[in-house]
Chain A
Amino acid sequence: DAGVTQSPTHLIKTRGQHVTLRCSPISGHKSVSWYQQVLGQGPQFIFQYYEKEERGRGNFPDRFSARQFPNYSSELNVNALLLGDSALYLCASSIPSGASTDTQYFGPGTRLTVL
């Protein structure tokens, strides 16, 4: 079975631009979460979407937004890019099997470099 897929793999942008990252969950998974992983740190939670609705948001500015489509794929959008947005952006999918037993499976990530 295919795992979580993300596109593009790598992306280079300049400050002030915007970017759209895409994620396709594992077949049958209805929830998608986004994380930012800066070099040398663990992933930081950005958003969770379930059934096209936002179910959670981390401590990120409004420049970050996301949405989920009827086929459960998702997009993460970042506006007015800053140098500090350079990171690996991870998508994770889960069924979920229940509020207390949700297990997230991660994709390979999109490496964003902001110059």
Chain B
Amino acid sequence: AQSVSQHNHHVILSEAASLELGCNYSYGGTVNLFWYVQYPGQHLQLLLKYFSGDPLVKGIKGFEAEFIKSKFSFNLRKPSVQWSDTAEYFCAVKASSNTGKLIFGQGTTLQVKP
């Protein structure tokens, strides 16, 4: 069965620190990969996505993620975080043969101290 693992459940950083959130998935076939963000009091928003091509994808607000197929990973990065990046981050995977069914990780809560 497909599953997604986010290694860090709670991350605390100071402003300007670099961020990397880990995401690993288990699935043997071709996948589509997503990172969603949920800011306090707001709904889930798409941060970035990977379907095919360049494994380094750039999203909104300076975020990027790299798909490493051999490691079944899709880690999220940002060189310098801001206080406004405080949020919960979810990695999600979908089998590319499946039109629906996103499989989510359990999320990582990021707290950025000003």
Taking beta carbons and an 8 Å cutoff, which residues of A are in contact with B? Answer: 3, 31, 33, 35, 40-45, 48, 50, 55-56, 58, 90, 92, 96, 99-109
Total residue contacts A-B, CB cutoff 8 A: 73
Q: B42-50, B59-67, B73-81: which lies at the A interface?
A: B42-50
Of A40, A55, A100, A108, the contact of B51 (CB 8 Å cutoff): A100
Residues on the B chain within 8 Å of A101, using CB: 32, 51
Complex CA distance for A40 and B10, rounded to whole angstroms? 11
Chain A residues with CB below 8 A from B103, complex form: 45
**Known: A106-B44, A108-B43, A109-B43. Is A55-B99 also a contact (CB below 8 A)?**
yes
Question: What 4 A-B pairs are tightest by C-beta distance, nearest first?
Answer: A42-B104, A48-B100, A106-B44, A100-B96
**In the complex, which of the residues B44, B94, B101 contacts A58, with contact meaning CB atoms closer than 8 Å?**
B101
Q: How many interface residues does chain B have, given as a range?
A: 20 to 34
The interface residues of chain B lying within 8 Å CB-to-CB of A31 are 99-100
Closest-by-CB residue of A relative to B32 is: A100
- Can you list, as one digit per residue, whether each of B53-91 has a CB less than 8 Å from chain A (1) or not (0)? 000000000000000000000000000000000000010
Given contacts A41-B106, A42-B106, A100-B96, whether A106 and B101 have CB atoms under 8 Å apart is: no
- A45-B51 CB under 8 A given contacts A100-B32, A101-B32, A105-B46: no
Interface residues of B (CB under 8 A from A): 4, 30, 32, 34, 36, 42-46, 49, 51, 90, 92, 94, 96-107
Minimum CB–CB distance for A77 against chain B, Å: 19
Cα distance, A92 to B102, chains bound together (Å): 10
Q: List 27 A-B contacts (CB under 8 A).
A: A3-B43, A31-B100, A33-B102, A40-B106, A41-B106, A42-B105, A42-B106, A42-B107, A43-B44, A43-B104, A45-B101, A48-B99, A48-B100, A50-B100, A56-B100, A58-B101, A100-B32, A100-B51, A101-B51, A102-B32, A102-B100, A103-B46, A104-B100, A106-B36, A106-B43, A106-B45, A108-B43
A31 vs B99: C-alpha distance in the bound complex, in angstroms?
9
Q: Considering only CB atoms, which chain B residue lies closest to A98 in the complex?
A: B99
